[in-house]
Structure 1
Amino acid sequence: MRKGFLSALVMLAAIGLAGCTAPRPDTAEPIDTRCTSAVADDALIGNWLSVRKQAGVAGELRTHIVLRADGTMSYGEQLSRRGKAPQGLAETGCWQREGRTLILRTVESNGSPVDPQDPIYINRYQIIQETGDSLELQSSDGVRLDARRMPPDYRLPW
Protein backbone atom coordinates (compact mmCIF):
# COMPACT_ATOMS: atom_id res chain seq x y z
CA MET A 1 0.00 0.00 0.00
CA ARG A 2 2.87 2.33 0.76
CA LYS A 3 4.26 1.83 -2.78
CA GLY A 4 0.90 2.81 -4.33
CA PHE A 5 0.68 5.87 -2.09
CA LEU A 6 4.19 7.02 -3.10
CA SER A 7 3.39 6.49 -6.79
CA ALA A 8 0.22 8.56 -6.48
CA LEU A 9 2.11 11.30 -4.60
CA VAL A 10 4.84 11.42 -7.28
CA MET A 11 2.18 11.58 -10.02
CA LEU A 12 0.35 14.45 -8.29
CA ALA A 13 3.64 16.33 -7.88
CA ALA A 14 4.44 15.83 -11.58
CA ILE A 15 1.00 17.11 -12.59
CA GLY A 16 1.41 20.10 -10.29
CA LEU A 17 4.83 20.93 -11.75
CA ALA A 18 3.52 20.55 -15.29
CA GLY A 19 0.85 23.11 -14.46
CA CYS A 20 3.55 25.57 -13.41
CA THR A 21 5.32 25.33 -16.75
CA ALA A 22 2.24 25.37 -18.98
CA PRO A 23 1.81 28.57 -21.00
CA ARG A 24 -0.53 30.99 -19.30
CA PRO A 25 -3.32 32.64 -21.25
CA ASP A 26 -2.95 36.34 -21.94
CA THR A 27 -4.56 38.09 -18.99
CA ALA A 28 -4.56 41.58 -20.55
CA GLU A 29 -8.05 42.96 -20.97
CA PRO A 30 -9.05 43.30 -24.62
CA ILE A 31 -9.18 46.86 -25.91
CA ASP A 32 -12.56 48.02 -27.13
CA THR A 33 -12.11 49.04 -30.77
CA ARG A 34 -15.65 50.37 -31.21
CA CYS A 35 -15.87 54.08 -31.98
CA THR A 36 -17.87 56.59 -29.96
CA SER A 37 -19.86 59.25 -31.80
CA ALA A 38 -18.60 62.80 -31.61
CA VAL A 39 -20.61 65.72 -30.32
CA ALA A 40 -22.90 66.60 -33.25
CA ASP A 41 -21.59 70.12 -33.82
CA ASP A 42 -17.89 69.42 -33.13
CA ALA A 43 -15.83 71.72 -35.37
CA LEU A 44 -13.28 68.94 -35.95
CA ILE A 45 -15.76 66.87 -37.97
CA GLY A 46 -14.72 67.11 -41.59
CA ASN A 47 -12.13 66.45 -44.24
CA TRP A 48 -8.69 68.01 -43.52
CA LEU A 49 -5.54 68.32 -45.65
CA SER A 50 -2.07 69.39 -44.57
CA VAL A 51 0.75 69.85 -47.08
CA ARG A 52 4.26 70.38 -45.74
CA LYS A 53 7.96 69.89 -46.23
CA GLN A 54 9.93 68.15 -43.52
CA ALA A 55 13.65 68.44 -42.82
CA GLY A 56 15.49 65.37 -44.06
CA VAL A 57 12.66 64.27 -46.35
CA ALA A 58 12.91 64.86 -50.09
CA GLY A 59 9.54 65.89 -51.47
CA GLU A 60 6.24 67.02 -50.07
CA LEU A 61 4.23 65.29 -47.34
CA ARG A 62 0.45 65.37 -47.62
CA THR A 63 -1.60 64.37 -44.60
CA HIS A 64 -5.30 63.78 -45.13
CA ILE A 65 -7.48 63.27 -42.05
CA VAL A 66 -11.21 62.52 -42.27
CA LEU A 67 -13.07 62.86 -38.96
CA ARG A 68 -16.65 61.60 -39.12
CA ALA A 69 -19.55 62.35 -36.77
CA ASP A 70 -19.88 58.65 -35.90
CA GLY A 71 -16.38 58.71 -34.36
CA THR A 72 -14.65 56.88 -37.20
CA MET A 73 -11.62 58.32 -38.93
CA SER A 74 -9.39 57.83 -41.95
CA TYR A 75 -5.78 58.97 -41.93
CA GLY A 76 -3.66 59.05 -45.05
CA GLU A 77 -0.12 60.27 -45.47
CA GLN A 78 1.51 60.51 -48.85
CA LEU A 79 5.05 61.41 -49.90
CA SER A 80 5.10 63.07 -53.32
CA ARG A 81 8.40 63.46 -55.15
CA ARG A 82 8.95 64.82 -58.62
CA GLY A 83 9.28 62.06 -61.21
CA LYS A 84 8.42 59.24 -58.79
CA ALA A 85 5.22 57.45 -57.89
CA PRO A 86 3.76 58.62 -54.56
CA GLN A 87 4.30 56.46 -51.49
CA GLY A 88 1.81 56.38 -48.70
CA LEU A 89 0.12 55.07 -45.64
CA ALA A 90 -3.62 54.59 -45.19
CA GLU A 91 -5.11 53.99 -41.76
CA THR A 92 -8.64 53.73 -40.41
CA GLY A 93 -9.98 53.70 -36.88
CA CYS A 94 -11.58 55.97 -34.31
CA TRP A 95 -11.11 59.54 -33.14
CA GLN A 96 -12.11 61.52 -30.12
CA ARG A 97 -11.58 64.94 -28.63
CA GLU A 98 -10.35 65.34 -25.06
CA GLY A 99 -10.40 69.07 -24.41
CA ARG A 100 -7.70 70.58 -26.63
CA THR A 101 -6.36 67.17 -27.71
CA LEU A 102 -7.32 65.17 -30.80
CA ILE A 103 -6.76 61.42 -30.36
CA LEU A 104 -6.56 59.12 -33.37
CA ARG A 105 -6.66 55.37 -32.66
CA THR A 106 -5.76 53.16 -35.63
CA VAL A 107 -7.61 49.86 -36.04
CA GLU A 108 -6.36 48.99 -39.56
CA SER A 109 -3.20 50.10 -41.33
CA ASN A 110 -2.98 49.64 -45.11
CA GLY A 111 -5.95 47.27 -44.87
CA SER A 112 -4.52 44.98 -42.16
CA PRO A 113 -5.65 44.84 -38.53
CA VAL A 114 -3.17 46.24 -36.03
CA ASP A 115 -2.31 45.22 -32.47
CA PRO A 116 -4.53 47.53 -30.39
CA GLN A 117 -2.12 47.08 -27.45
CA ASP A 118 0.73 48.70 -29.43
CA PRO A 119 0.97 52.40 -28.47
CA ILE A 120 2.30 53.32 -31.92
CA TYR A 121 -1.31 53.14 -33.15
CA ILE A 122 -2.59 55.83 -30.77
CA ASN A 123 -1.64 59.35 -31.84
CA ARG A 124 -2.33 62.50 -29.85
CA TYR A 125 -2.35 65.96 -31.39
CA GLN A 126 -2.53 69.17 -29.41
CA ILE A 127 -5.10 71.46 -31.01
CA ILE A 128 -3.26 74.76 -31.43
CA GLN A 129 -5.99 76.56 -33.33
CA GLU A 130 -9.29 75.64 -34.95
CA THR A 131 -11.48 77.79 -37.12
CA GLY A 132 -14.17 76.88 -39.61
CA ASP A 133 -11.73 76.34 -42.45
CA SER A 134 -8.36 75.72 -40.80
CA LEU A 135 -6.93 73.47 -38.14
CA GLU A 136 -3.48 73.65 -36.56
CA LEU A 137 -2.26 70.53 -34.76
CA GLN A 138 0.99 69.53 -33.12
CA SER A 139 1.90 65.90 -32.56
CA SER A 140 3.56 64.65 -29.39
CA ASP A 141 6.85 64.38 -31.31
CA GLY A 142 6.67 68.02 -32.42
CA VAL A 143 5.38 67.66 -35.99
CA ARG A 144 3.06 70.53 -36.82
CA LEU A 145 0.13 70.09 -39.20
CA ASP A 146 -1.50 73.19 -40.65
CA ALA A 147 -4.60 71.77 -42.29
CA ARG A 148 -7.37 73.29 -44.32
CA ARG A 149 -10.91 72.01 -44.66
CA MET A 150 -11.51 70.18 -47.92
CA PRO A 151 -14.75 69.25 -49.73
CA PRO A 152 -16.37 66.04 -48.45
CA ASP A 153 -15.42 64.12 -51.62
CA TYR A 154 -11.71 65.06 -51.54
CA ARG A 155 -9.21 62.15 -51.76
CA LEU A 156 -5.43 62.10 -51.96
CA PRO A 157 -4.27 61.79 -55.59
CA TRP A 158 -2.65 58.40 -56.15
Structure 2
Amino acid sequence: MSSRVVFSGGRAIGFLCSGMVAATLVLTGCAVKKPQPVAAAPQAPAAPKPVACTPVAADSPLVGTWYSVSTPHGVAGNLQTLTVLSPDGRMTYQTQLKIGKRVRPALSESGCWTYADGVYTMQTTASYGDPVDVSDPIYRNRYQVEKIDGKHARMRELKPNGQLITATRMASNYRLP
Protein backbone atom coordinates (compact mmCIF):
# COMPACT_ATOMS: atom_id res chain seq x y z
CA MET A 1 0.00 0.00 0.00
CA SER A 2 1.41 3.31 -0.92
CA SER A 3 0.23 6.71 -0.04
CA ARG A 4 0.66 9.61 -2.28
CA VAL A 5 -0.08 13.19 -1.72
CA VAL A 6 -0.98 15.13 -4.75
CA PHE A 7 -0.55 18.87 -4.78
CA SER A 8 -1.44 21.12 -7.56
CA GLY A 9 1.08 23.48 -9.11
CA GLY A 10 3.96 24.86 -7.01
CA ARG A 11 2.17 24.27 -3.77
CA ALA A 12 4.04 21.02 -3.18
CA ILE A 13 7.39 22.81 -3.10
CA GLY A 14 5.97 25.49 -0.80
CA PHE A 15 4.65 22.88 1.65
CA LEU A 16 7.90 20.96 1.45
CA CYS A 17 9.92 24.09 2.23
CA SER A 18 7.52 25.05 5.00
CA GLY A 19 7.86 21.60 6.49
CA MET A 20 11.64 21.75 6.38
CA VAL A 21 11.64 25.17 8.05
CA ALA A 22 9.24 23.93 10.72
CA ALA A 23 11.35 20.81 11.34
CA THR A 24 14.49 22.95 11.57
CA LEU A 25 12.84 25.27 14.10
CA VAL A 26 11.64 22.34 16.19
CA LEU A 27 15.07 20.73 16.17
CA THR A 28 16.75 24.04 16.92
CA GLY A 29 14.45 24.54 19.89
CA CYS A 30 15.35 21.09 21.17
CA ALA A 31 19.04 21.61 20.80
CA VAL A 32 20.16 22.87 24.16
CA LYS A 33 23.52 24.48 24.41
CA LYS A 34 25.54 22.70 27.04
CA PRO A 35 26.57 25.08 29.78
CA GLN A 36 30.26 25.79 29.75
CA PRO A 37 31.99 24.68 32.89
CA VAL A 38 32.38 27.68 35.12
CA ALA A 39 35.94 28.23 36.18
CA ALA A 40 36.27 28.09 39.92
CA ALA A 41 36.38 31.53 41.42
CA PRO A 42 39.97 32.46 42.17
CA GLN A 43 40.65 31.82 45.80
CA ALA A 44 41.79 34.69 47.90
CA PRO A 45 45.41 34.37 48.92
CA ALA A 46 45.87 32.62 52.22
CA ALA A 47 45.73 34.94 55.18
CA PRO A 48 49.19 35.90 56.36
CA LYS A 49 50.45 33.79 59.21
CA PRO A 50 50.05 35.86 62.36
CA VAL A 51 53.26 36.98 63.99
CA ALA A 52 53.42 36.34 67.70
CA CYS A 53 55.33 38.97 69.63
CA THR A 54 57.80 37.72 72.21
CA PRO A 55 57.96 39.53 75.55
CA VAL A 56 61.26 41.25 76.24
CA ALA A 57 63.16 41.35 79.51
CA ALA A 58 61.26 43.41 82.05
CA ASP A 59 64.31 45.58 82.61
CA SER A 60 65.01 46.18 78.90
CA PRO A 61 66.31 49.74 78.55
CA LEU A 62 64.28 50.25 75.35
CA VAL A 63 60.83 49.68 76.88
CA GLY A 64 58.96 52.98 76.78
CA THR A 65 57.89 55.84 74.53
CA TRP A 66 60.57 57.34 72.28
CA TYR A 67 60.51 60.51 70.17
CA SER A 68 63.07 61.37 67.52
CA VAL A 69 63.58 64.00 64.84
CA SER A 70 65.78 63.16 61.87
CA THR A 71 66.47 64.30 58.33
CA PRO A 72 66.44 61.22 56.10
CA HIS A 73 68.76 61.13 53.09
CA GLY A 74 67.11 62.87 50.13
CA VAL A 75 64.27 64.43 52.15
CA ALA A 76 63.91 68.20 52.40
CA GLY A 77 62.31 68.19 55.83
CA ASN A 78 62.33 66.70 59.29
CA LEU A 79 60.88 63.30 60.05
CA GLN A 80 59.30 63.21 63.50
CA THR A 81 58.89 59.70 64.88
CA LEU A 82 57.08 58.37 67.92
CA THR A 83 57.79 54.76 68.82
CA VAL A 84 56.14 52.95 71.72
CA LEU A 85 57.90 49.74 72.78
CA SER A 86 55.89 47.59 75.20
CA PRO A 87 57.34 44.91 77.51
CA ASP A 88 55.10 42.27 75.86
CA GLY A 89 57.10 42.72 72.62
CA ARG A 90 54.48 44.81 70.82
CA MET A 91 55.29 48.19 69.27
CA THR A 92 53.60 51.10 67.54
CA TYR A 93 55.39 53.43 65.18
CA GLN A 94 54.05 56.76 63.94
CA THR A 95 55.77 59.35 61.81
CA GLN A 96 55.02 62.72 60.37
CA LEU A 97 57.04 64.76 57.92
CA LYS A 98 57.53 68.45 58.60
CA ILE A 99 58.59 70.57 55.62
CA GLY A 100 58.69 74.23 56.55
CA LYS A 101 55.44 74.95 58.38
CA ARG A 102 53.56 72.08 56.75
CA VAL A 103 53.17 68.82 58.63
CA ARG A 104 52.13 65.66 56.82
CA PRO A 105 51.34 62.33 58.46
CA ALA A 106 53.49 59.60 56.95
CA LEU A 107 53.18 56.22 58.71
CA SER A 108 51.11 54.53 61.37
CA GLU A 109 52.34 51.00 61.94
CA SER A 110 52.24 48.33 64.59
CA GLY A 111 53.99 45.05 65.15
CA CYS A 112 56.67 43.42 67.27
CA TRP A 113 60.13 44.36 68.45
CA THR A 114 63.17 42.65 69.93
CA TYR A 115 66.44 43.75 71.48
CA ALA A 116 69.29 41.25 71.57
CA ASP A 117 73.07 41.57 71.41
CA GLY A 118 72.82 45.35 71.01
CA VAL A 119 70.52 45.09 67.97
CA TYR A 120 67.02 46.55 68.10
CA THR A 121 64.65 45.06 65.49
CA MET A 122 61.18 46.27 64.52
CA GLN A 123 58.87 43.94 62.56
CA THR A 124 55.77 45.69 61.22
CA THR A 125 52.69 43.45 61.05
CA ALA A 126 50.05 46.09 60.26
CA SER A 127 50.09 49.47 58.53
CA TYR A 128 47.13 51.75 59.21
CA GLY A 129 45.45 48.68 60.74
CA ASP A 130 45.78 46.52 57.61
CA PRO A 131 47.96 43.39 57.70
CA VAL A 132 51.20 43.56 55.73
CA ASP A 133 53.34 40.90 54.07
CA VAL A 134 55.79 40.25 56.89
CA SER A 135 58.17 38.54 54.46
CA ASP A 136 58.66 41.87 52.64
CA PRO A 137 61.95 43.33 53.94
CA ILE A 138 60.54 46.87 53.89
CA TYR A 139 58.57 45.97 57.03
CA ARG A 140 61.64 44.92 59.02
CA ASN A 141 64.02 47.55 60.40
CA ARG A 142 67.20 46.82 62.34
CA TYR A 143 69.36 49.21 64.34
CA GLN A 144 72.66 48.88 66.16
CA VAL A 145 72.16 50.57 69.53
CA GLU A 146 75.30 52.64 70.10
CA LYS A 147 74.34 54.25 73.39
CA ILE A 148 71.36 54.16 75.71
CA ASP A 149 70.70 55.72 79.09
CA GLY A 150 67.56 56.60 81.01
CA LYS A 151 66.68 59.55 78.77
CA HIS A 152 68.33 59.07 75.37
CA ALA A 153 69.06 56.33 72.86
CA ARG A 154 71.41 56.60 69.91
CA MET A 155 71.20 53.97 67.18
CA ARG A 156 72.26 53.44 63.60
CA GLU A 157 70.28 51.68 60.89
CA LEU A 158 71.89 48.37 59.93
CA LYS A 159 72.10 49.00 56.21
CA PRO A 160 74.66 50.68 53.94
CA ASN A 161 74.93 54.37 54.84
CA GLY A 162 72.51 53.71 57.70
CA GLN A 163 71.14 56.82 59.31
CA LEU A 164 72.04 57.79 62.87
CA ILE A 165 68.96 58.32 65.01
CA THR A 166 68.86 59.93 68.44
CA ALA A 167 65.66 59.38 70.39
CA THR A 168 64.44 60.94 73.63
CA ARG A 169 62.37 59.05 76.20
CA MET A 170 58.95 60.67 76.63
CA ALA A 171 56.01 60.24 79.00
CA SER A 172 53.81 57.28 78.09
CA ASN A 173 50.93 59.59 77.11
CA TYR A 174 53.04 61.71 74.71
CA ARG A 175 51.64 62.23 71.20
CA LEU A 176 53.24 63.69 68.07
CA PRO A 177 52.92 67.48 67.97
Question: What TM-score, normalized by structure 2, do the two folds share?
Answer: 0.68
Report the alpha carbon displacement of residue 55 of structure 1 after superposing the two structures with TM.
4.3
Aligned to 2:174: 154
* SS of corresponding position for 1:56: coil
Tell me the amino acid that sits aligned with residue 135 of structure 1: A
| C-alpha distance in 2 between matches for 1:104 and 1:55 | 20
Larger Cα-atom Rg: 2
How many equivalent residue pairs?
A: 129
| C-alpha distance in 2 between matches for 1:48 and 1:133 | 9
| C-alpha distance in 2 between matches for 1:100 and 1:85 | 33
| C-alpha distance in 2 between matches for 1:56 and 1:133 | 29
Report the alpha carbon displacement of residue 85 of structure 1 after superposing the two structures with TM.
3.9
Report the alpha carbon displacement of residue 87 of structure 1 after superposing the two structures with TM.
2.8
Equivalent residues in 2 for 1:86-105, closer than 5 Å: 86-105=104-123
Q: Deviations over 1:53-110 (max 9, x none)?
A: 2343122111211100111001112101234342310110000111100010100012
Residue of 40, 43, 59 corresponding to 1:41: 59
Aligned to 1:64: 82
1:134–1:149 Cα contact (<8 Å) kept: yes
Aligned to 1:138: 156
Residue of 128, 136, 143 corresponding to 1:110: 128
Aligned to 1:79: 97
Report the alpha carbon displacement of residue 135 of structure 1 after superposing the two structures with TM.
0.3
Change in Cα spacing, 1:32 to 1:76, as seen in structure 2 (3 Å) is same
Q: Deviations over 1:9-46 (max 9, x none)?
A: xxxxxxxxxxxxxxxxx9xxx75501111101111100
Tell me the amino acid that sits aligned with residue 148 of structure 1: T
Report the alpha carbon displacement of residue 52 of structure 1 after superposing the two structures with TM.
2.0
> What stretches of structure 1 move > 4 A for 4+ residues in a row?
none
* SS of corresponding position for 1:136: strand
* SS of corresponding position for 1:86: strand
* SS of corresponding position for 2:138: helix
Report the alpha carbon displacement of residue 132 of structure 1 after superposing the two structures with TM.
0.5
- Name stretches of at least 5 consecutive residues in structure 1 with no aligned partner: 1-25
Could you tell me the percent identity over the aligned residues? 40
* SS of corresponding position for 1:120: helix
Tell me the amino acid that sits aligned with residue 80 of structure 2: R
| C-alpha distance in 1 between matches for 2:104 and 2:138 | 23
Question: What TM-score, normalized by structure 1, do the two folds share?
Answer: 0.75
